[in-house]
Amino acid sequence: MKNALNVNDCKDMIRFVADKIIESKPYLTEVDSAIGDGDHGIGMAGGMQKAKEKIDAMDPTEDAYRVFDTAGKAMLMSMGGASGVIFGSMYIAGAKNSPPKSELDAADIAKMFQKSLAAIKERGHASVGDKTMVDALEPAAIAMSEHSEEGLLEMLKAAEQAAHDGMESTKDMLAKYGRAKSLMERAIGFQDPGATSVWIIIRSMREFVEN
Ligand code: ADP
Ligand code: MG
């Protein structure tokens, strides 16, 4: 079990997360078909595939943040739809304005998620309760900040639970953004696709650190 992630660990973790999203493509398609246009799984899987390729092709670096920046830019540039910008910025904003570091510990990762959350909320204007990925990301980022002193694995376990609860909570919500908005109360009972992706990403981070 790891308590800090060096450059290679970060690469391996992003690859692991990418593979889990790619594996979940049919599930994400199903979730987005219920209240969206069904493209979320295709977009996320495609973006994650590109992220893996760009990480493999990276120039050697001593800065672990660069790995996230590279992955995020690959997603931003390859994915269409709302989620390209949103999930691309999740990695990019997390790494932004951080002095280079060869190893990231729990507190560094918690800080990354706080920055991602702030950037996504500023850009997309969604708040908790609007039935978006923010409903999973915000509680997860808060859980990370609250549990970062317990180490990487405990922190990620808390964040995974928070993301899962947040994802579940979207079932009861009306959508304020995206395609589900036009469904009004017909969106009730269905979870948000982006929140589902957030949960898969954080769950996979926990699995990576645990194994
Ligand atoms: P599109 O809506 O263009 O088809 P996707 O299906 O890939 O894109 O992604 C939809 C997801 O994007 C939603 O489930 C939601 O979580 C997220 N999303 C949409 N608009 C916003 C927003 N303004 N802020 C945060 N997340 C958003
Ligand atoms: Mg969609």
pLDDT of residue 34: 96
The closest alpha carbon to 109, from 97, 91, 126, belongs to 91
- Given ligand 1 and candidates 120, 132, 167, which is best to mutate, with the most ligand atoms within 8 Å of its CB? 132
Least confident of 17-31, 70-84, 190-204: 70-84
pLDDT of residue 2: 79
Ligand 1 centroid–CA 22 distance in Å is 18
Element (H, E) at 97: none
Ligand 2 centroid–CA 33 distance in Å is 8
- Separation of first and last alpha carbons in the chain: 6
Ligand 2 centroid–CA 204 distance in Å is 22
pLDDT of residue 94: 93
Q: Would you place residue 101 in the very low, low, confident or very high pLDDT band (cuts 50, 70, 90)?
A: very high
State mean pLDDT over 42-62.
Answer: 97
3-class secondary structure per residue, 115-172: HHHHHHHHHHCCCCCCCCCHHHHHHHHHHHHHHHHHCHHHHHHHHHHHHHHHHHHHHH
* Torsion sign (Cα): 8, 85, 161, 38: negative
Element (H, E) at 151: none
- Give the residue carrying structure tokens 């769950």: 203
Q: Would you place residue 113 in the very low, low, confident or very high pLDDT band (cuts 50, 70, 90)?
A: very high
Cβ distance 64 to 10 under 8 Å? yes
Which ligand has the shortest distance to the CA of 181? Answer: 1
Enumerate domains of the chain plus CATH numbers. 4-210 (1.25.40.340)
The closest alpha carbon to 89, from 113, 118, 119, belongs to 119
Q: How many CB atoms lie within 10 A of CB 210?
A: 12
pLDDT of residue 41: 96
Ligand 1 contacts CB of residue 180 (under 6 A) = no
Is the model's pLDDT at 150 over the cut of 80?
Answer: yes
Which ligand has the shortest distance to the CA of 137? Answer: 1
- Given ligand 1 and candidates 25, 133, 134, which is best to mutate, with the most ligand atoms within 8 Å of its CB? 133
Ligand 1 centroid–CA 101 distance in Å is 31
pLDDT tens per residue, range 122-135 = 999 999 999 999 99
pLDDT of residue 81: 76
The closest alpha carbon to 112, from 12, 211, 14, belongs to 14
Ligand 1 contacts CB of residue 167 (under 6 A) = no
Is the model's pLDDT at 80 over the cut of 90?
Answer: no
State mean pLDDT over 193-202.
Answer: 98
Ligand 1 contacts CB of residue 148 (under 6 A) = no
The model carries a pTM of: 0.97
Is the model's pLDDT at 1 over the cut of 90?
Answer: no
What residues sit around ligand 2, an ion, with C-beta below 5 angstroms? 32, 36-37, 39-40
Cβ distance 199 to 163 under 8 Å? yes
Amino acid letter, residue 159: A
State mean pLDDT over 29-43.
Answer: 96
- Given ligand 1 and candidates 177, 197, 200, which is best to mutate, with the most ligand atoms within 8 Å of its CB? 177
Q: 118 is written with which tokens?
A: 């702030």
Average pLDDT, the chain: 96
